Amino acid sequence: AAGLERSSAGMEGAAVTDWSLALWTLSAVLLPVLITVWCSFQRSRRQLLIRDIFRKSKHDWHYTDLFGQPSYCCVCAQHILHGAFCGCCGLRVSERCLKKADQRFQCKEIVTRGAGAARGSMSHHWVRGNVPLCSCCAVCKQQCGSQPKLCDYRCAWCQYTVHDDCMVDCLKTEECTFGEFRDLIIPPYYLATINQMRKDKRISYEKVVPYGREHWMPVIVLANTRSGNNMGETLLGEFKMLLNPVQVFDLSKIAPAKALQLCTLLPCNAVRVLVCGGDGTVGWVLDAIDEMKIKGQEQSIPQVAILPLGTGNDLSNTLGWGAGYAGEVPVEQILRNVMEADGIKLDRWKVQVTNKGYYNLRKPKVFTMNNYFSIGPDALMALNFHAHREKTPSLFSSRIINKAVYFFYGTKDCLVQECKDLNKKVELELDGERIELPNLEGIIVLNIGYWGGGCRLWEGMGDEPYPLARHDDGLLEVVGVHGSFHCAQIQVKLANPVRLGQAHTVRLILKSSKMPMQVDGEPWAQGPCTVTITHKTRALMLYHSGEQTDDDASSLSE
């Protein structure tokens, strides 16, 4: 009996031990899962609250995982590594202080309301802390922001910085002059005055010039955040900091035609537009400007400058704005370049493609050309590139990768030669005169000096006499190439193109087969057709002489 009792007690103890082990094992498994679920729930809830604040706020809040410089919360003054910042006024705040900051601090006013609009002036908009590195005090001329804490002030309009000790009551109420870029900024009180004039049905806007200045040239910034190296998002914030946010537009959210209606509220022939994007974005904006002409808004037509963010950027290169922007030039210098740029005209051409045998059934395709038209190997490279990018757009976010893909398809065509014997498939007419073609694989019709991402195709090696090419003379330059390898030789100045001539009108007849064609980098495969290129209009552009080469200078001096 005693043995049975000991046996049953042992079994009960083992059972308890097993249940205890099972309980501890279950707790060890479930506890991390529950903690993870709880943390995920809290993070999702926090993100929803942040998005709700962002959506309702008058600030242009953005969240960042790491600030680019030592930063301090504008509410609690604590050092922060991550948090939210306003892209317009420059406030920086920790995540837990975001709601307080949104309620306590005002953002830059787009339009002045109340007495400020009647005065035609406004006070400084001081923001405490996180002043730009190496900035100097406007009062004592010593460096600001040098202490490791929330200190010193910056005006969100004129960008003046002042020490805490130098900030006096008179500065807080002093009239803001808008600083270095006063000639480019649209003041909030100007827009308030214009709104009142529109209500009174008065349209003499040129009489309302801020500060009584004679050389006011307000700038409108149009940025394509999807162009080339994806710098558009960063540039939008930097331009909003320096200018009135109402002057800065994201072309992924608003069309150029709508953004350019701001020009109609500004003095005639005074507006400058800075297009941040590739050549395709520039063409999009120029098409919108042509629509303004059709609407009878010729007096509001702006002059166009370019900040090259695309892959090729040949139009930007031709007009002196460089072959590509990667952040090496400060935004302040870009605005100075826009102010100093000279006006120039750019020919724009109508490209009409009429399919053979369908004259009465299909409407001809019509394109507008700013840069060049081509048929042959370079159009084939562009067609293959675009087909690849349509399948996997996420891979094509870098200018270097894009050029590497172009190089790959160019090398492939050197071996395959898909466009050989082009001279047997096409007829070419320049100003109505038939041109006898040598053995070619491609024909390129140029309006500007640069082609293929920085090559001066018409000049070639520069060792032969040729009439100079211009982008405002109403003439097109027509050249032929022997293939992709010949194109590569021309780009490194080891060969000359086959110069076929210059003309006011170009007519090309594709007699048989299907060939790749492109207009300004937009390619397609085309069957038998007639291509007619005629002059359409002229665009008002801005030329930056600081980036010009010797070839550019000689071309402009003619």
Query: What is d(CA 345, CA 307) in angstroms, rounded to the nearest whole number?
Result: 18
Is residue 135 within 8 A of residue 129, CB to CB? The reply is: no
What pLDDT score was predicted for residue 378? 83
Task: Evaluate if residue 363 carries a pLDDT over 90.
Answer: no
**Span 181-340 CATH architecture:** 3-Layer(aba) Sandwich (3.40)
> In the CATH scheme, what architecture does the domain 58-107 have?
2-Layer Sandwich (3.30)
Q: Please, which pLDDT band fits residue 9 given cuts at 50, 70 and 90?
A: low
- Of 9-18, 69-78, 278-287, 326-335, which gets the smallest average pLDDT? 9-18
**Quick one: CA dihedral 312, 315, 318, 319, positive or negative?**
negative
Phi, psi of 332 (to 5 degrees): -60, -40
CATH class of 109-179: alpha beta
Q: What are the extents of the domains in the chain? A: 58-107, 109-179, 181-340, 349-536
For residues 339-366, average pLDDT: 86
Q: Do domains 58-107 and 349-536 have the same CATH topology?
A: no
Instruction: Report the amino acid identity of residue 18.
Output: D
Residue 136 pLDDT > 70: yes
Helices (H) and strands (E) in the chain, counts: 14, 24
If one looks up domain 349-536 in CATH, what number appears?
2.60.200.40
When pLDDT is averaged across residues 207-230 and rounded to a whole number, the result is: 76
Average pLDDT, integer, range 219-237: 84
Q: Are 439 and 483 in contact (CB under 8 A)?
A: no
In 436-534, alpha helices (H): 484-491
CB distance 389 to 473 below 8 Å: no
Structure confidence at residue 402 (pLDDT): 58
- pLDDT of residue 163 exceeding 60: yes
Q: 241 and 156 in contact (C-beta within 8 Å)? A: yes
Nearest to 282 by CA among 251, 243, 239: 251
Question: Pick from 415, 430, 414: which is nearest to 481 by CA?
Answer: 414
Nearest to 188 by CA among 108, 301, 265: 108
The count of other CB atoms within 10 Å of the CB of residue 546 is: 13
pLDDT on residue 20: 79
Predicted pLDDT at 466: 81
The residue among 383 and 158 whose pLDDT is bigger is: 158
Helix, coil or strand: residue 466? coil
Q: What values do phi and psi take at 435, rounded to 5?
A: -110, 125
Contacts of 5 (CB under 8 A, 6+ apart): none
From residue 3, alpha-carbon distances to 7, 8, 279, 537 in Å are 6, 9, 96, 111
- pLDDT tens string 258-302: 999 999 888 888 899 999 998 889 999 999 999 999 888 888 899
pLDDT value for 175: 85
- Of the listed ranges 208-222, 407-421, 518-532, the least confidently predicted one is 407-421
Q: What is the pLDDT of residues 296-318, one digit of tens each?
A: 888 889 999 999 988 778 999 99
The model's pTM is 0.84
Rounded percentage of the chain residues whose pLDDT exceeds 90: 37
Q: Could you tell me which residue, 47 or 236, shows the higher pLDDT?
A: 236
Say yes or no to pLDDT of 48 above 70: yes
